[in-house]
Structure 1
Amino acid sequence: MATYPFEPYAELPTLQSAVTDSFCQLVEQTLASQDTFSVSLSGGSTPKRVYEMLASRDLPWDRIHLFWGDERNVPHDHADSNYRMVKTALLDHVAIKEANVHPVPVAVDSPAEGARAYAQEIEAFFGTAMPTFDLVLLGMGDDAHTASLFPGTKAISESDASFVENYVPKFEAHRYTMTYPAITSGKEIWFIITGAAKVDALKAVVFGERDLNQYPSQGIKPTRWFVDSEAVG
């Protein structure tokens, strides 16, 4: 019988504490040998709790740069905005410079332009077309999407740009997302997957025949898995 390549966490709070502690440890290790730490953030309720916990940690926020792995096509003050979630959970509670916070420049009426602007900002920060984030945080949906790489969408096949607009028919809405080349260039890539709704998707991603169009999360090889017992069934 095939086994998962990780040991699941018995309880969600334990997982969230482990992610928080591991984040702080990675920041310390990274900044021992370089000036800044860059992270691509994930949306979702589980990461939100991690961000709330990070807000109480003594981290060198002046040396940490925050980016977003995906975003909804809504203004930053909208309830569905990933930026707004991070702002209320973390940014409003820590001493971080505005220059260190890099939200997606949402352009509701022209999302492709907003995505191109973010790709340019990423390139300007890293000095290369593809970023090399110190950490990429990712979740996975019950349809096996990750970031805003949804099944059957055009962004799955994007190989040149780091960040693109992606129309998602199931929502009849545009999303913004990092692409596979940008995500997989990360030095550390952590999958955070929780909840019973993910059981079938997780099985398909780990054990199923490779089909990125149906299971986009198969395109990611995480350096660490943070999975709770509910997600493995």
Structure 2
Amino acid sequence: MCLATVVGMLGGLSESTKTKIMETKIFYTKDQLSRYFGDFLAELTGKQEVVYIALSGGSTPENIFDVLSQEYKDSIRWDRLRFFWGDERCVPPDHAESNYRMTREHLFNHVPVSEEQIFRIKGELTPEEALKDYRRVLEETLPQKNGFPQFDVMVLGMGDDGHTASIFPHEISLWDSPNWCEIGTHPKTGQKRITLTGKVINNSRQIIFLVTGKNKAPKVDEILHQKGNYLDYPAARVDPRKSLWLLDQQAAQRSDD
């Protein structure tokens, strides 16, 4: 059950563009959020022959993948999905920190998905080689619009520092890069990651944020309610007209509540 649906407006728009541009759905539990996303994929794959989707890593997608593999094995048209990632750590595919490995263990091993449907970022290569390879994969596989690849669904998470994909606040200039993907650097560990850039993310047909946990609440509040220097956070740069934020009750908690 969805606890609430909130539709917001962003300021500074011309009269011709003042339409519904931000939607947030709040759920009591992670499982309820996961089922909403499962229903969304079931409906989309039921009416569209091929669906290009970029996945996210993290604990929230892990929970969602578990629900999808257990409850949606027969209702989602898995053969119609083409899987990519918004970012990946520069580690081998069997490494504990690999987004691909997490998806493999919690989803691909349990649903009818073939290897031909999976287009991973090759984190075992050098960052420069992985970047070049993923750029080639995107160019050869995805439809393009406006000179950039276009995903049907871009799934994003958000860190408690406001980062999304692997664009962190200290490297927010990567968001506006003219390139399709870039090499990001974790601000604390220095780990290199391959990430899609803002121009590709915002070129997607639908962008879905999956955010859970009380540690995310302060940044969610700042971004969705445009507080302070919220545009310093990469997650705030996502086109709100295409975005749907799926939050659990903890992540949706406002700082003034």
Give the TM-score, by structure 1 length.
Answer: 0.89
Q: Which residue of 2 aligns with 1:111?
A: 127
| Contact 2:216 2:251 (8 Å CA) reproduced | yes
Q: Which residue of 2 aligns with 1:180?
A: 198
Q: 1:102-144 deviations in whole A, cap 9, x for unaligned? A: 0101245x20221121011101112545221111111111100
Residue 198 of structure 1 aligns to a residue whose secondary structure is helix
Identity %: 32
Q: d(CA) in 2 for partners of 1:93 and 1:26? A: 20
Aligned CA distance change for structure 1 residues 16 and 63 (closer, same or farther; 3 Å) = closer
Q: 1:64-108 deviations in whole A, cap 9, x for unaligned? A: 100011111110000110000000011111222211100101245
Select 1:44's aligned residue among 45, 58, 75.
Answer: 58
| Contact 2:55 2:83 (8 Å CA) reproduced | yes
Q: d(CA) in 1 for partners of 2:25 and 2:107? A: 29
1:66 matched to 2:66? The reply is no
Q: CA deviation at 1:154?
A: 5.8
Aligned CA distance change for structure 1 residues 130 and 210 (closer, same or farther; 3 Å) = farther
Residue 245 of structure 2 aligns to a residue whose secondary structure is strand
Whose strand proportion is higher, 1 or 2? 2
Q: 1:1-40 deviations in whole A, cap 9, x for unaligned? A: xx874342122221121112112112223x1xxx311100
Q: Which residue of 2 aligns with 1:223?
A: 243
| Contact 2:31 2:64 (8 Å CA) reproduced | no
Structural RMSD (CA): 1.9
| Contact 2:131 2:183 (8 Å CA) reproduced | yes
Q: Which residue of 2 aligns with 1:197?
A: 215
**Letter of the 1:208 counterpart:** K
Q: Which residue of 1 aligns with 2:67?
A: 53
- Structure 2 unmatched ranges of 5 or more: 1-5, 9-23
Tell me the number of residue pairs that the alignment of Structure 1 and Structure 2 aligns: 225
| Contact 1:156 1:216 (8 Å CA) reproduced | no
| Contact 2:185 2:193 (8 Å CA) reproduced | yes
Q: Which residue of 2 aligns with 1:208?
A: 227
Deviates more, 1:201-210 or 1:99-108: 201-210
Q: Which residue of 2 aligns with 1:82?
A: 99
Residue 39 of structure 2 aligns to a residue whose secondary structure is helix
Q: d(CA) in 2 for partners of 1:22 and 1:95? A: 18
Select 1:123's aligned residue among 125, 139, 144.
Answer: 139
**Letter of the 2:88 counterpart:** E
Give the TM-score, by structure 2 length.
Answer: 0.81
1:153 matched to 2:171? The reply is yes
Q: CA deviation at 1:158?
A: 4.0
| Contact 1:154 1:166 (8 Å CA) reproduced | no
| Contact 2:92 2:122 (8 Å CA) reproduced | no
**Letter of the 2:65 counterpart:** Y
Aligned CA distance change for structure 1 residues 230 and 154 (closer, same or farther; 3 Å) = closer
Q: d(CA) in 1 for partners of 2:80 and 2:28? A: 34
- Structure 1 unmatched ranges of 5 or more: none
Matches within 5 A, 1:126-137: 126-128=142-144, 130-137=148-155
Q: CA deviation at 1:53?
A: 2.3
Q: 1:30-67 deviations in whole A, cap 9, x for unaligned? A: x1xxx311100011111112222222422332221000
| Contact 2:174 2:182 (8 Å CA) reproduced | no
Aligned CA distance change for structure 1 residues 28 and 127 (closer, same or farther; 3 Å) = closer
| Contact 1:167 1:175 (8 Å CA) reproduced | yes
| Contact 1:153 1:168 (8 Å CA) reproduced | no
| Contact 2:34 2:68 (8 Å CA) reproduced | no
